[in-house]
Structure 1
Amino acid sequence: MRAAATTTDPRLSVHTTLRLGGPAGRVLRAEGADEVVDAVGSADAAGEPVLLVGGGSNLVVADDGFDGTAVLLAGRGLSYERAGDAVVVTVDAGEDWDDAVAATVAEGLGGLECLSGIPGRTGATPVQNVGAYGVEVADLLVDVDLYDRRAGIVREHVPASELGLAYRTSVLKGNDDAIVLRVRFALRADGGSAPIRYAELARTLGVTPESRVDPAAAREAVLGLRRGKGMVLDAADHDTWSAGSFFTNPILPAADAPVIDGLAAWPAGADRVKLSAAGLIQNAGFARGHTGPGGRVSLSTRHVLALTHRGGGTTADLLALAREVRDGVADRFGVVLRPEPVLVNCHL
């Protein structure tokens, strides 16, 4: 008989990195794929809505909470299989993401090191097509195992090509019909990292763009950069009480993009350009540490893209600050910033 998911603290604030949000109807802790399927299946049978929670690093939960079952992904596990010149690593959806990255680097495998220090669970990475420092999940993803809620079956080895992976999104985002159970990545086994494409990281490592380095060296450099921006979790540091980057970098037709001295911009396909959301925010007059209602929330003191909880705040406070920033950028430059985290029972 399979073990069942266990009931745990219903307060979603204790399960999210923002430390905000009201309670769920119930919270079930699932220690592996079988328990995830059982927990979700039991909620579906009862007609209850389901919220999947990994590390809670990409969730903004309403103060009213979530009227349904939240399932905590807590299963752990990695395995490796040689596939030609690569090694395919299979990771359980509940595995802590940075632990998984650290494990692959310790094995001498290259590819994931630039995604070091990102909080959350592995199952969320293809949903969001997580990316940082010139690498994104789409570059390395082989396939996933999914629980198809409508059919009530597990679909194994669903190819990455079927997931609609794009900038910080996929067909899985905002769609709870399919739940990630396992993820597989093809990694380099030749002792080298992924090509270093991000200029700031290349400068930190002292190499030219497109160089490859020791994966461990790249990981340490990335962790250092992220710590400097308050992007590595630390319970004692309110700059890390956030959902990471709150707004995505907007992609616009090149003809519609505002021209701003010093604003970072990158090509994004035919006649399109990706603009720096952080640059837009700063140029709209919002500085690091800009406070929201009562000083209970603020922009990070180290990175304007992170909206942080300073203690004693509410989700309503955070959303008020997010609206102020969004509207300020829109009024100044005519560009509407879109939120990156998942908003649960709330909206901008």
Structure 2
Amino acid sequence: MKDLVHHTPIRTSSSLDKMMGRNVYLKMENEQKSGAFKARGACFKIGSMTEEDAKRGVIAASAGNHAQGVALAAAKRAIPAKIYMPIHTPMPKVEATKNYGAKVELSGETFQEALFAAQKEQQQSGATFIHPFDDADIIAGQGTIAVEMLADMPDLDCIIVPIGGGGLISGIAYAAKQIKPSIRIIGVQTENACATYHAYHKHLLPSLTCATIAEGIAVKEPGKLTLPLIQQYVDDVVTVSERDIASAILYLLERHKTLAEGAGAAAFAALLRHHESIRSKHCGVIISGGNFDLQKLSELYALTTHLPANSMA
């Protein structure tokens, strides 16, 4: 993995530490290749493929960041890649995926619909399907984040991680607990797409819109492989609102001069909202991606000020 992905930096801020009443360490996966942590899992999965499987190409479904990770990893091995993405995927993510050399098919209103279309195509083409989260190699690749964080900051006693399908938190939680069993792992979902939150706390699952500015974690069902790992290795799962996420993006942009997308800011939003109840002196926060559609910047101000988005244009 060392030659395939960046060992991303950890950023600190004395003013943030003072405000939160603890030391905070931001793991900047928005500075990863392709702009998000997804490159890790994709590079490990595709890098492990046999030559015979590679010749058949790869196919995937994604809300955006997995698509770019797969396209990047496939390009490194000169493997043809086809990615299915929901029709409302931000265009910068679509164009970036194409620029890495992958073919893109826009299909369905949701990630689940794009996933179904990709799986149907895979059965016909025989290409290797690269699942965005429910795959042991993908999970292992994402777990390298925890290895880096604890090598750089051994005093970490907590890591806050966003949850979509659960591949990122499964990898981080498993790896971190092997290195430092006492560390606490806190998962975060948006209130509009929180199936894993309800499954973790054994609630009846309500109807979820999955309409969120954090489209990267807008997943209606937790993974079959990831949910048991989350239940075993994660210490708590919390939720944040759309306004929390918008405020977190703007705080990171204004105070730390770094751009996070909705999903990428979810863990930081959880720290801002739940810091009083999170037991930690040395808290790691995953800024998981930075592929934000700048045309939607006015929506962030609308969410934080209760003004219509068009009034901020």
TM > 0.5: no
Structure with larger Rg: 1
Q: TM-score, normalised by structure 2?
A: 0.28
Q: TM-score, normalised by structure 1?
A: 0.26
Higher relative contact order (CA 8 A, sep 6+): 2
Q: Whose strand proportion is higher, 1 or 2?
A: 1
